[in-house]
Structure 1
């Protein structure tokens, strides 16, 4: 991180435009490495976590790979004949309680990890449920992504992850992705000695922007009570209230 960026970050953290100590941030680190094996992705997560922590937001990191997460779209796959154990409902509870979800992954074969894909699938399995306003359950939450690897694929993975989060109801702020890639090929990973990853100014800048944009958007959404419940209620649509669709200005 450049000295200029360090000074800017310190100044912003000391004089934020709002309070954020009521916001909960959850990092789902979809590394393939179980704890306590080193995770390069967690190195970048720690950079973002430091800024969130500095303004009083509460943060938590979970590695889904540490848990038994069956394939499927059920709320609890242990109730099916195929699986005896399912830890996902415990993780989903953490997801439900957060204001900001940062879905993090390493890149393999140009794609997000298999753990990340399964995480999104299990989150998708809950989308038929509604929040207290009658909207899809994840309305009002902020989503973003952090990605590392030593091969190409950051933007490809970010496009997929951010679309997926938006599709199930998350609000995605500007500059909602940040990542670090080493040299193309079998080069060093983020936390390897001499990789240059932790010092990379471009990555540190994008990570900083991501954190602050998540904080700003989460603050606005929380203060406004989330996304207004007008024109986006599934039960009303099902009942025939097709808000705005019959307006003369939309007819041709």
Structure 2
């Protein structure tokens, strides 16, 4: 699980709080979860797995290759994914040129989903941007592989400052976790083959 926020550790994060619901649901299905808060790391600009001295992306790359399920958690800013989520997608572009022992793109047979929070509109746009990018890289995106909490247009309280619509967000978070696990297990039993030709 890769949790993103614009607040470094140990600050609390609205997005982390909703991601906690997904983590709990995954762990109830015996999924081992590791959380990575990218705002705490140095991720240089670029589209390779290693952009040189000081870049902490190589360790993240190894974690991606060891994971069957990826959950991207991001706040909504101006109706768009956070800059950190965008940087993550740019750096994951490196996966497009890597293949496994059977010549499949390394993201094949891995599933991904998205958690989004924000006190403004834009959750579906953020979900579609991230899922679209991950799908291009080779991840399988199950149906209902997302959850969100957005207050709606205009200023308002954050996720942690109100209980409004938390029940709906938690319900979709649990559905998301269930669908991610089901599809990950199905892919493990019947992997997607290498692309023809």
By the TM > 0.5 criterion, same fold?
yes
Looking at CA atoms only, which structure, 1 or 2, has the larger radius of gyration? 1
Structure 2 residue 145 is the aligned partner of structure 1 residue 196: no
Where do 4+ consecutive residues of structure 1 move more than 4 Å? none
SS at match of 1:58: coil
- 2:29 aligns to what? 55
SS at match of 1:45: helix
SS at match of 2:134: helix
Looking at structure 2, the residues matched to 38 and 201 of structure 1 have their Cα atoms a distance apart, in angstroms, of 20
- 2:19 aligns to what? 45
Looking at structure 2, the residues matched to 228 and 76 of structure 1 have their Cα atoms a distance apart, in angstroms, of 28
Tell me the CA shift for residue 74 of structure 1.
2.1
SS at match of 2:116: strand
The 8 Å contact of residues 131 and 138 in structure 1, kept in 2 or not, is answered as no
Greater mean deviation of Cα atoms: 125-134 or 163-172: 125-134
- 1:151 aligns to what? 120
- 2:172 aligns to what? 206
Q: CA RMSD in A?
A: 1.2
Q: Which runs of 5+ in 2 are unaligned?
A: none
Looking at structure 2, the residues matched to 216 and 44 of structure 1 have their Cα atoms a distance apart, in angstroms, of 21
Given candidates 175, 192, 195, the residue that maps to 1:227 is 192
Tell me the CA shift for residue 126 of structure 1.
2.7
Tell me the CA shift for residue 183 of structure 1.
4.2
TM-score, normalised to structure 1's length? 0.75
SS at match of 1:191: helix
SS at match of 1:60: coil
Looking at both structures, which has the greater relative contact order when contacts are Cα pairs under 8 Å and sequence separation is at least 6?
2
Tell me the CA shift for residue 119 of structure 1.
0.4
Q: Which runs of 5+ in 1 are unaligned?
A: 1-26, 79-83, 238-252
The 8 Å contact of residues 49 and 61 in structure 2, kept in 1 or not, is answered as no
Tell me the CA shift for residue 108 of structure 1.
0.4
- 1:100 aligns to what? 69
